[in-house]
Amino acid sequence: AVHRASAAARRAGGQRAEHQGVPDWLAAAQPARQPECRDAAAGPLLTAHGQPVDRPRAGGLLPGADQLTVELNSVTDNPLIDAVTGRVFHGGNFQARAVTSAAEKLRQGLQGIGRMLFAQCTEMINPATSWGLPPNLCSDGANDSFLFKGLDVVVAGLTSELGFLANPVGSHVQTAEMGNQSLNSLALVSARYTLEAVDVLSQIASAHLLALCQALDLRTIEIEGRKDTPPDATPHVGQASRRMYRFIRKDLSIPFLGEEHLASTEAATLDGVTPSIGLYNTRLYESIRSGRLYDVVLESLKEAKEQEQQAAAFCNGNGNDKSMQHLDE
């Protein structure tokens, strides 16, 4: 699903952009070991085809952004005066319906991304689909710990809320001003709900990243064995994952979680707040909303683009596509 040929077969700009860099992000990553009792063909669809699951809707983000850019850089005053002819045109505020449509495309794209993150998150937490990870991503005894069960419930609720926010606004337009405004745009309403959808998706993404780092550490314990020091997953993950993992573990000081750590009364912040999943989830959420986490993503994108250009130059120098296939393998 993440092979370069998969992106080449899809011509939509949003789909190409979504796939761009994924093979390079996964470079050097070690795949999860398949349990002997599991049939590879019986794996969840999302595990095998994680990236393309909702490409049609997620691919609508680019057209929506382009549409908003055009509208924001266009003159839509009412009345509109043509300086050449001196004529005055009365358009009407329903012309902002393009903004309504663009915002709805953005919300639907956000909902598609959120639904994918939720599916991946619940697959990691569920032992039936996590390929050997403990239930609820607990680092202690599974009989005594329900570590990420609460987070699973929270993400499910947020995903439902995001789906509600994805509903269209333009279909609820009413006549106003005693019929003088027979058609309106409701663009501001649509834009406001889109901002709410961004906030909800940020909460889903923070929970997903928190669970993902826990899952990576548990997989590291499975590979290296349990040690006295906290696990370090950096040798086993891809380039982009390594960068994000270090940001979360080092810069945000979010540790590998266990019941003993969460039960500690030692302050985890300067204002005396004790450790909790909610505290660490909030740190991630704030890094998303402030833009700190985006810097890490942009660095990964730049690195992937440089590697893609190097690979393309290498292929052109050899005059065939076999070298690209060799790099992918």
* Residue 52: pLDDT band with limits 50, 70, 90: very low
The secondary element (H helix, E strand) that includes residue 80 is strand 80-81
pLDDT for res 270: 64
Taking the alpha carbons of 216, 217, 218, 219 in that order, is the dihedral positive or negative? positive
In a domain, 8, yes or no: yes
Q: Tell me how many domains the chain contains.
A: 1
CA distances from 94 to 175, 189, 190, 235 (A): 11, 13, 13, 56
Q: Which two tokens stand for residue 201?
A: 């998706």
CA 235 – CA 146 distance, rounded (Å): 28
Q: Beta 80-81 vs 88-89: how paired, if at all?
A: antiparallel
Q: What is the CA angle 157-163-165, rounded to 5?
A: 105
Unique residue bearing structure tokens 């994805």: 166
In a domain, 137, yes or no: yes
The percentage of residues in the chain with a pLDDT greater than 70, rounded to a whole number, is 74
Using a cut of 0.75, tell me whether the model's pTM lies above it.
yes
In a domain, 171, yes or no: yes
pLDDT for res 179: 82
Query: Please, what is the average pLDDT of the chain?
Result: 81
Each residue of 273-314: pLDDT tens digit?
788 999 999 999 999 999 999 999 999 888 877 877 777 787
In a domain, 19, yes or no: yes
Give the least confident one: 53-57, 110-114, 297-301: 53-57
The closest alpha carbon to 164, from 212, 233, 115, belongs to 115
Determine the structural domain holding residue 31 and report its residue range.
4-76+100-175+187-328
Here the CATH number for the domain that contains residue 267 is 1.20.200.10
Each residue of 60-90: pLDDT tens digit?
677 888 888 888 887 666 677 888 999 988 7
Tell me the mean pLDDT in the region 205-218. Answer: 95
Tell me the mean pLDDT in the region 26-46. Answer: 55
217 within 8 A of 235, measured Cβ to Cβ: no
